[in-house]
Amino acid sequence: MQVGVIMGGDSMEREISFMTGNEVIKNLDKTKYEVVPIPINTRFQLIDQIRDLSFAFIALHGEFGEDGKIQAMLETMHVPYTGCGIFASALCMNKIMSKIIFKNCAIETPGWIHIKLDVYNSYEDKNLFMKDFNLDKKFFPLVVKPNKGGSSIGIFVVNTKEELLNSIDLSFKFDKDVIIEDFIHGEEITVSVLNGEVLPIIGIKPEASFFNYESKYSKNGVEEKIISLPKTLHNKVKTIAETIWKEFSLQVYARIDMIISGGEIYVLEINTLSGMTENSLIPKSAKAYGIPFNELLDKIIEYSLMIDRY
């Protein structure tokens, strides 16, 4: 079977996409698949390259990767592909909509305030902006992040009003919608799910104040290891992950980031096209479950082919 590995793209996460794509190409079983690298610079050149593909392995990240757009293109052309479908991809890319659904499912998530670029720019007096959005009553630190995006690009932890306003300006360079979120002190964990099965949980201890871009993609930026939680807590984490899998209509594989604080579990976000580099979390979790990387790729393809998307 011919497998085209689509990588690159025009998002801010282009570099990470190539890292994922090259690792996938390296580890796909060449006795099973005819592997075709498909590096793209713009989305417009993709149509001719995927027209005759038997199967697409999506190694894109960010916009036109995780947001449902390439999934829609592939479905229109009847090319089967890896991972979540159009709806789940678009929904999980939108942090605000995800948080609203978390709350509707009685799943804890850090409190947040949604700021739109045009509204923010309408305030000449930023002190009035702070007051109108109740930011003058918030306790630092706070987290500022674009509504859409990944790899922690454009995310800032701030400790003062000046840092907050500067970080809002910077985050607006990545999106027209920005979230100001309560910073939750606690233990960061990530939960990988493969075809509905919750894999071993990974604890994350970044050198920085949070799991930022440098932590994710440098060898010494973070300590990541499989952890054993108390049974009651583990079962609660597992139940939350299974609920999210169902309510968000996730498929094939996904990764859910959480923080445990004071016995409460807060869900941060869902990653529908998590990285597949040597430092990536899903392969580490799968390996601890007894699934080596090349077999994980086989399973991703197998489970994806089982889905009737048309």
Q: Which residues are annotated binding-site positions for Mg(2+)?
A: 257, 269, 271
> One-letter amino acid identity for 49?
Q
Say which of 151, 167, 215, 304 is annotated catalytic. 151
d(CA 106, CA 83): 26
Residues placed in the known binding site: 257, 269, 271
Active site residue 261: no
Structure tokens at 40: 């793209």
Contact of 92 with 98, CB cutoff 8 Å: yes
Closest listed residue to residue 179, CA positions, set 252, 96, 284: 96
Three-class SS state of 299: helix
Active site residue 124: no
Say which of 13, 23, 66, 188 is annotated catalytic. 13
Active site residue 280: yes
With the CA atoms of 186, 101, 157 and 218 taken in that order, what torsion angle do they form, in degrees rounded to the nearest 10?
80
Say which of 171, 215, 280, 285 is annotated catalytic. 280
The helix (run of H) or strand (run of E) holding residue 158 is strand 156-158
d(CA 41, CA 140): 40
Annotated active-site positions, please? 13, 151, 280
